Structure formats: C-alpha cells, structure tokens
Structure 1
Amino acid sequence: MASAFEAALSRRSSSKVTDAAPDDAELTRMLGAAGRVADHAGLRPWRVIALRGAARGRLGDALVEASASTGEPEHKLAGKPLRAPLLLAVVATITEPHKKVPAWEQEAVASGVAHVLSLLLDDAGWGVMWRTGPYTRHPAVARMHDLAPGELLLGWLYVGGRAEHRRPGRPADVARRFSVLD
C-alpha cells in the first residue's frame, strides 16, 4: 500500500472500467478507513449504498424519469449507470438542526469519506470515477435510493477493473491556489 502522499499523487479518474469489481468485504474494510475523516461532533453524517446488477438498471430508469421534461435521449441516460459493474452512491445524512455542526459541514464530511474511499480504491488497483449530474438530487433518484428525509445524494463512485491505459495526471496549479497571510 502506498503512502497517503503517493496515493494522492497517483490518483486518476478512470472513465472506462472492466467488469471486475471489489466484493463487499473489501468495500467494508475500505469504508472502515475512509470513515475516519475529520468529523466534528462525531456525527458520522454519511452512508454508502452499493448498486450492482439490476439496481443499476433501476437507477437508469430513475434518471429517465427525472429528465422527462428535458428532452434528453432516454437511451443515453438509461445506459449511464451500466458503465461500471459497481456504483457506490455516497449519501450525506444531515442532522438538522445541530447546535455545533451546520448542514454544510456534515455534507463536507460525507464528501471527505467519498474522496478518501476513491483514493483507497484507486490505490488497491480499481478504476474509479466520481460522477454526478443534473439529476443527482431529483426526487425520482432519491426514491430509487430509498433516501430518508435529511439525506442528500452526493453522486456515485463508478468502480470497476482498471483499464490498461491511464491518462497522465495534470499538475495542480498550486501557485494560484495557495496563499499565506501573515
């Protein structure tokens, strides 16, 4: 296993993956580590839903329903969840009101879990891409995931076997994104 620094430097989104996917035991182990992100008040405001097999088709149907008034081609939307054998829906479980931890901070914790999980999956040799879209928070998509009140879908980690070719990484524009106040 690479160091955290090496894992962050080598991470690449994989837009195309093979049909292989990690099993639930491997995912549970990784979530045990990813769930260690900074979490003000220890709320654990996140959960992950694994979508395999027919569940991906049901998500495609929900995306089609969500887009009903947009004119977007149904076949294109219905097929999107089939691009990977495993989709990990990342859900922020917001506790509101909370006297110390605002909703945005709870959503940030869930995002942190998703990012660390994507690093761990990539480091383990899996192809991963975090996908969202205009229908991520549509009621039809929320129903398909059986989200409770106060839960927000942040998107899906598309996971599968890593394809042979990996795009080279682009360097971070650190000089423009880092400043020091004295």
Structure 2
Amino acid sequence: MKKFDIRKIKLKAVNLGDIDDRMLLVNLYATQAITLVIGFSWLLFQGRDPFSLFRPGDGLHFLYWGVGLAAAVIVMDILAARIVPEEANDDGGVNERIFRNRPIWHIALLSLVVAVCEETLFRGAVQYHIGPYWTSIIFATIHVRYLKHWIPTGLVFCISYALGWIYIRTGTLLAPVIAHFIIDLVMGLVIRFRREA
C-alpha cells in the first residue's frame, strides 16, 4: 500500500472557465457545508445552543425586519444597477454561472442553504465575539469575487452590517436568514430570467 505524503499536494490556481457547472455546484455546496460545521462547532465551543438562536421569540417582528431589509437591499441593488457601470459590478461571472440555467426550485434551495449556513457562522458565531463591524469586514472579504471592485465590496459590507444589526434588534437568526434568503432568491431569479429575455 502506498503511503500518503502531504508534502506532495500541490495547489494550483483555477480559472472559473476551467470548472464545469457540476463542479461549481459541488464546490458551492461543499463550502456551505464547511461553513455550517464551523458555525455549529464554534457555537458549541462558546457554550451556546445553535438551535436556540433560531427561536422566533414573541410575535412576528423578526419577519418584518427580515422582509423589510430584503426589500430595501433589492431596491438599492436595482438603483445601483441603473447608476453604476456594469463592469464596476463584475463578479467574474460566478453568479451568472450559478443561477442562469437553474430551475426555480434549485435557485430557492441554493438561496436557503447559503442563508442558513452563512448566517449561522457569521451572525451566530463570529458576531458574538467581534461585533457586526468586524464580522462584516470578514464577510465582505470572503466574498472574494467582489474584491476587484469597491462598489460591490462596499455593498456586501453594508448588507452584512444590516444583517448583523437586525439580528441584534430581533434576537433571532431567523431575521437575517429570511433577509439573506430573499435577497439571494430575488437576485438569482433576476439573473435567471434576464438571461432568457
């Protein structure tokens, strides 16, 4: 039996064009699974029950905050798309590749998976230690495809900060998860149906 040698592992930069759609989806789901595992582990390490963070509390105020923030972000994004040149919003084609040929149910599933996984880690675990400002800097940084242009990076930071703020305001992760889900779903549907027009 051949012995595994970690020193023989070589990392290679991969161009988005070199990855087929199936592998892009595998990478997306894998990174979200890792994000969720890290988030849950971090919350357990903090001595906090991850599931309790999703309790709605009294009333539906979390729903109003989540839907309200999503609506504000969508309006802001539509306005920005009309004002800002298209090349200043370029993400390297990642969002196009992810959403353009997906059925609606898959866009909804992707949006839900991303919202739950990222909010569990960033709002649930990271924000608990370093607050919404620094969490939003990290959140914007991991969305590396936007870092080439300051406008989308700034928007991701602002959206992240707003997600953190509504989490503090409502006391439940349901508010930022709902907002994140609606934002990603609507943007995914816009990409999906804009391509067909």
TM-score over 0.5 for the alignment?
A: no
More strand by share: 1
TM superposition score category, shorter chain reference: 0.3 to 0.5
| TM-score using structure 1 length | 0.33
Q: TM-score, normalised by structure 2?
A: 0.31
